[in-house]
Copies of this chain bind each other. A is one copy, B any other.
């Protein structure tokens, strides 16, 4: 088929009628599907159900009663498992509650209120800026926006952020204090940073002494089609004595239970000491019973990896539906490009400029709620109004097929409408 932009007005009009009819037919089905967020499906959650009632004892191996107060930074067993899994020294890990987002929020807040390593707290500076690879994760951007931190979008290439641009910026502007990164199976693009990019990130010259990379490894072991491996970020950073530049976040939200998993923050020795020192004012200790549940269920790092294999099997057909449908319906039309992720939770679709909001609106009226257009950009402002995040994990396979059919119709309908002017 020809690209739509090559078609004559009358050909486009014909298509428009066809797409409009297909759309109206869909509407009459009265669908009610939600693909707005990257939620695991019940089938995925079922894989962890055993954990709900797994506790026959409530002591750590060294006899500590996890039901009582004590231990700020997590029981030794859970630290060991994550240490093995992520190849991070266990002394450089602090276990949090169920939310790594909350750990990130607290980390930004600490730097904002108290500062770090002798630098002024960010609250006392005229201007603080963050680099934001785009498309990216809306909840990251919300944290920095809430604190009035100026966000600078950075193009995310196939191998990670555009490093020429990043390096030029951070070298010359000491008000750039941080950067949001999702280094593996990025939300929403699925991009995996190359080792070269990561090495540049940990070694680059920064004007700000307290420049921090928020390394949200949310999908660090969430492979679907391919087990991506990358060099360890701390190992790379240690070559340059820059471990403290990295604030590393991870959680089991999409491994066991969202909202009832285990999160962690890891960093260099000095940061960890600094964080503990503030954290001890904030909380006596996070839920150790839940930590022990995770330990008893997984036993070791290998237990987690095997569990992830099972989840990948559940996710795979869903990604296949999305990618197949996009390919079948939109290939060659010149009206959309999309990511081919090897893992993570999303497929990122770029539709014709100025059409993303319209596609999301059409889909919503047709019965499928997508992530808001623009959400993947700072200030919810996608300058091209082009990017849409598809979250295929939650709906059952049959519903997902329907939803993707509708989505493709919406993309085509919005495109012909735009081309018709």
Interface residues of A (CB under 8 A from B): 37, 39-40, 42, 45, 48-49, 52-55, 58, 65-70, 97-99, 101-102, 105, 109, 112-113, 123, 139, 142-143, 146-147, 253, 257-260, 278, 281-290
Contact = CB atoms under 8 A, between A and B. Distances in A.
A69 B259 contact: yes
A71 B346 CA distance: 22
Contacts of A39: 68-70
A129 B109 CA distance: 21
Contacts of A53: 52-55
A58 B98 CA distance: 17
Given A52-B289, A260-B287, A281-B146, A113 B123 contact: yes
Number of copies: 2
Which of A66, A68, A69 counts the most chain B CB atoms within 10 A? A68
A53 B54 CA distance: 7
Contacts of A278: 146
Nearest to A99: B283
Contact of A65 (B42, B123, B142, B289): B42
A283 B112 contact: no
Contacts of A253: 69
Nearest to A146: B281
Contacts of A289: 52, 257, 259-260
Given A53-B55, A67-B257, A109-B113, A101 B288 contact: no
A45 B101 CA distance: 31
Contact of A281 (B58, B123, B143, B290): B143
Nearest to A285: B259
A45 B65 contact: yes
B67 A260 contact: yes
Please give me the 4 A-B residue pairs with the lowest Cβ-Cβ distance, nearest first: A53-B53, A260-B289, A69-B258, A105-B282
Contacts of A281: 105, 139, 142-143, 146
Given A45-B68, A65-B45, A109-B109, A101 B52 contact: no
Residue of A48, A67, A70, A101 ringed by the most chain B CB atoms within 10 A: A67
Contacts of A37: 69
